[in-house]
């Protein structure tokens, strides 16, 4: 089967100067690509703050002629689109440029199906170019936010309902929000899975009279991750419970680094580790007790499952994509994205008895085993096949 994936976010190889937000879609397709011909069109949307990189000739060359690379047996072609300040939808020129590229790929590769992630990104593009090829849309949190803010919601909703064979969501919460907006969304969810082998899962944490000490955050240092709230809560905890000798390690980089560093200078127990590879992050999780990321506008968040697979007491955000996967007080905790709620949750966690910590840790590991990468890919593959009137080897 020939699958064309259209997405503005995908794993990027060989271009360190580009902003890489998430590899979640890559993790869904790298296993599917072992059995099927998967081709990805990464329609990278560059923010206005990236304009300076076009001073270099290579960057301008890639912008004009495109960029091709392989990522775990998946062929990827990138076409970059430069967005203007606060631009939400593509201009007519940008639409035509993307439409032309998509038509060329469809004619050359003759896909059996097209999987479109972040479909609102292609408003005004796909309805004209690909009418003869079955298309399915996969909604992310960004799509929901974009629809809610658009002045002509009905027009955008009608476009999605009319031009896609089926519409799916990346979490139950996104599906419910989409249905409430009037979108015809399937009950089947395209969920993510953690690609950590069971043998790496840490099942012996919190033995005897173990006390919580090491807190960990991994992700972009950007506003929506609410790391400033974690820092404020941690500083308060450190002051109230000096005997616990708490530490907070932070892996990642982003435009809030200097601001966050200034907040953290009051404590010698806060460490900024810089950008770390996925394997390095997993190793740090193995020696961490708590993983916390109270981010908003989070479609799913594989990093939560990775932390759970390492037995961490994992804290996510109420009402976000991980809500429902993390069950509050059962296999982790959920907080509202405010300092008070984060502080209260952390205070509760650091004072839990070791038997209770073991119980939550084991439940977290069992959840991670259930939401593994193979299960996620198999689920997605089944959904793709269900949208074809025939199958082809």
Which region among 126-130, 314-318, 367-371, 380-384 has the lowest average model confidence (pLDDT)?
126-130
User: Between 115 and 87, where is the model more confident?
Assistant: 115
Whose CA is closest to 174, among 213, 149, 144? 144
SS3 at position 152: coil
Token pair listed for 250: 């932070």
Q: At what angle do helices 227-240 and 339-350 cross, to 10 degrees?
A: 50
DSSP-assigned beta bridge partners for residue 335: 317
Q: Is residue 392's pLDDT more than 70? A: no
How much is the average pLDDT of 31-44? 94
**Residue 49, pLDDT score:** 76
Q: How far, in Å, are 9, 92, 124, 126, 329 from residue 96 at the CA level? A: 20, 6, 9, 10, 50
Position 393 pLDDT exceeds 60: no
The answer, yes or no, to whether residue 350 has pLDDT greater than 90, is yes
pLDDT score for 385: 93
Q: Count of alpha carbons within 13 Å of 43, Cβ hemisphere only?
A: 25
Residue 356 has pLDDT above 90, yes or no: yes
* pLDDT tops 80 at residue 20: no
Confidence of residue 294 (pLDDT cuts 50, 70, 90): very high
Average pLDDT rounded to a whole number, residues 217-238:
95
- Looking at 44-58, 158-172, 348-362, which range is the least confident one? 44-58
Q: Are 334 and 328 spatial neighbours (Cβ–Cβ below 8 Å)?
A: yes
pLDDT given at position 214: 96
Q: Is the pLDDT of residue 375 over 80?
A: yes
- For residue 342, the Cα-to-chain-centroid distance in whole angstroms is 22
The band of 129, judged by pLDDT with boundaries at 50, 70 and 90, is low
CA distance 278 to 95: 35
Q: In this predicted structure, what is the pLDDT of residue 266?
A: 83
- How high is the pLDDT of residue 299? 76
Q: Among 98-102, 317-321, 348-352, where is mean pLDDT lowest?
A: 317-321
Residue 69 has pLDDT above 70, yes or no: yes
Cα distance between residue 56 and residue 66, in whole Å:
15
Lowest mean pLDDT among 160-169, 201-210, 246-255: 201-210
What does the block give as tokens for 164?
A: 């896609």
User: Under DSSP, is residue 248 helix (H, G, I), strand (E, B) or coil?
Assistant: strand
Per-residue pLDDT, 115: 97
Name the β-bridge partners of 291.
Answer: 216, 314
Task: For 152-174, write each residue's pLDDT tens digit.
Answer: 999 999 999 999 999 999 988 89
State how far the Cα of 362 lies from the Cα of 368, in Å rounded to an integer.
10
Model confidence, pTM = 0.83
The rounded mean pLDDT for the chain is 90
Q: Can you tell me the mean pLDDT for 347-371?
A: 93
Sorting pLDDT into bands at 50, 70 and 90, what band is 22?
A: confident
- What is the pLDDT confidence band of residue 309, given thresholds at 50, 70 and 90? very high
State yes or no: pLDDT of 296 exceeds 50.
Answer: yes
- Which residues pair with residue 37 across a beta bridge? 2
Q: What pLDDT does 160 receive?
A: 95
Please tell me the predicted confidence (pLDDT) of residue 387: 93
pLDDT at 15: 86
């Amino acid at each position: 089967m020939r699958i064309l994936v259209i997405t503005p976010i995908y794993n990027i190889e060989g271009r360190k100067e580009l902003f890489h937000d998430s590899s979640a879609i890559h993790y869904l397709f790298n296993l599917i690509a072992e059995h099927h011909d998967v081709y990805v069109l990464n329609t990278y949307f560059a923010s206005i703050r990236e304009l300076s990189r076009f001073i270099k000739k290579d960057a301008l060359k890639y912008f004009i002629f495109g960029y091709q690379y392989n990522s775990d047996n998946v062929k990827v072609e990138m076409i970059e689109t430069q967005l203007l300040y606060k631009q939400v939808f593509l201009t007519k020129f940008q639409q035509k440029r993307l439409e032309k590229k998509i038509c060329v790929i469809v004619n050359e590769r003759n896909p059996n199906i097209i999987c479109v992630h972040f479909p609102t990104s292609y408003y005004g593009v796909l309805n004209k170019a690909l009418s003869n090829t079955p298309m399915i849309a996969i909604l992310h949190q960004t799509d929901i936010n974009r629809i809610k803010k658009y002045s002509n919601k009905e027009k955008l909703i009608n476009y999605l309902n009319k031009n896609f064979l089926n519409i799916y969501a990346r979490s139950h919460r996104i599906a419910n929000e989409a249905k409430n907006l009037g979108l015809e969304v399937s009950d089947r969810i395209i969920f993510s899975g953690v690609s950590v082998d069971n043998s790496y899962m840490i099942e012996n944490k919190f033995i005897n009279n173990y006390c919580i000490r090491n807190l960990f955050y991994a992700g972009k240092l950007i506003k929506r991750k609410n790391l400033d709230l974690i820092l404020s809560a941690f500083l308060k905890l450190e002051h109230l419970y000096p005997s616990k000798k708490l530490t907070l390690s932070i892996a990642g980089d982003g435009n809030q680094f200097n601001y966050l560093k200034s907040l953290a200078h009051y404590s010698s127990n806060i460490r900024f580790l810089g950008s770390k590879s996925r394997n390095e992050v997993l190793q740090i999780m193995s020696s961490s007790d708590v993983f916390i990321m109270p981010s908003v506008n989070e479609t799913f968040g594989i990093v939560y499952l990775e932390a759970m697979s390492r037995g961490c007491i994992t804290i996510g955000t109420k009402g976000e994509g991980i809500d429902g996967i993390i069950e509050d007080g059962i296999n982790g905790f959920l907080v509202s994205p405010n300092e008070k709620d984060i502080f209260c949750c952390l205070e509760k966690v650091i004072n839990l008895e070791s038997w209770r910590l073991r119980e939550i840790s084991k439940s977290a590991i069992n959840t991670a085993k259930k939401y593994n990468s193979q299960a996620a890919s198999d689920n997605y593959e089944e959904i793709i096949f269900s949208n074809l009137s025939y199958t082809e080897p």
